[in-house]
Amino acid sequence: MALSPETRDKLKKVSTATLATALYKRGLRGQFIQDVQPLHKPTESMVGEAFTLRYMPAREDLNQLVVFRDRGHPQRKAVEECPPGAVMVIDSRKDARAASAGGILVGRLKARGVAGVVSDGGFRDAAEIATLGIPAYHQRPSAPTNLTLHQAIEINGPIGCGDAPVFPGDVVVGDADGVIIVPAHLADEIAAEATEMTAYEDFVTEEVSKGRSILGLYPATDERSLTDFAAWRKANGR
């Protein structure tokens, strides 16, 4: 179930907060990746299908620097295979004491057209990554090489990231609040619903800034709120 260009576009214009509420309505409460932040202030939302990478704790004898000479090493392989437009999501077991990746690998993802990268651990070269122009989210910067604590063990299987379940192909959306996972089969309907919700929220935000009370307006329990909204939509072409 590929992510359609229409849904991708819609998701770029809605917030993770709105998506969280739309998922909540469907009983999904744990899709927000806890405790990650963008390395640079986002200008638009990151959107893409999840391509996952799983790390397990590193065993010292299996994680000498020489392992990276193997072209088949899962970390390097994943970087070369992550599809353009996808978001690489890394399960670092919420451990930021060593890096999940660094500037060169994230630069390669950027060059390959990948839509973003997320780790529940930390990236090294964080300042450099922040200038690359590819959305990147992590817990905090971390200089030690990932071999110190992490061994890449599986590409594109189901993982946990920041306590959220992530299946390959799920739709990943990130903004200034953080990153949320929309299950693949719900992406279209959630995108549509969130677009509608966003229109109403934009209307409410405008009204509130003019001094209107939230009672009856948010949510729209007053009839007038809906009438006003209808007029606002017409006036604003939404």
Handedness of CA 110, 113, 114, 116 (dihedral sign): positive
Provide the CB-side half-sphere exposure for 11 (13 A, CA).
31
Minimal distance, residue 8 CB to a second copy, in Å: 19
Q: Which of residues 7 and 142 has its CB atom nearest to a second copy in the complex?
A: 142
Minimal distance, residue 181 CB to a second copy, in Å: 9
Minimal distance, residue 41 CB to a second copy, in Å: 7
Q: Which of residues 169 and 183 has its CB atom nearest to a second copy in the complex?
A: 183
Minimal distance, residue 199 CB to a second copy, in Å: 14
Residue 181 is given by DSSP the state: E
Q: Which of residues 7 and 63 has its CB atom nearest to a second copy in the complex?
A: 63
Minimal distance, residue 17 CB to a second copy, in Å: 4
Closest CA to 123 of 70, 56, 104, 74: 104
- What are the DSSP calls for 141-174, one per residue? ---S-GGGTEEEEEESS-EEETTEEE-TTPEEEE
Give helix 187-209 / helix 223-236 axis angle, nearest 10°.
100
Q: Which of residues 3 and 207 has its CB atom nearest to a second copy in the complex?
A: 207
Give how far Cα 215 sits from Cα of 198, 206, 231, Å: 18, 15, 19
Q: Which of residues 5 and 143 has its CB atom nearest to a second copy in the complex?
A: 143
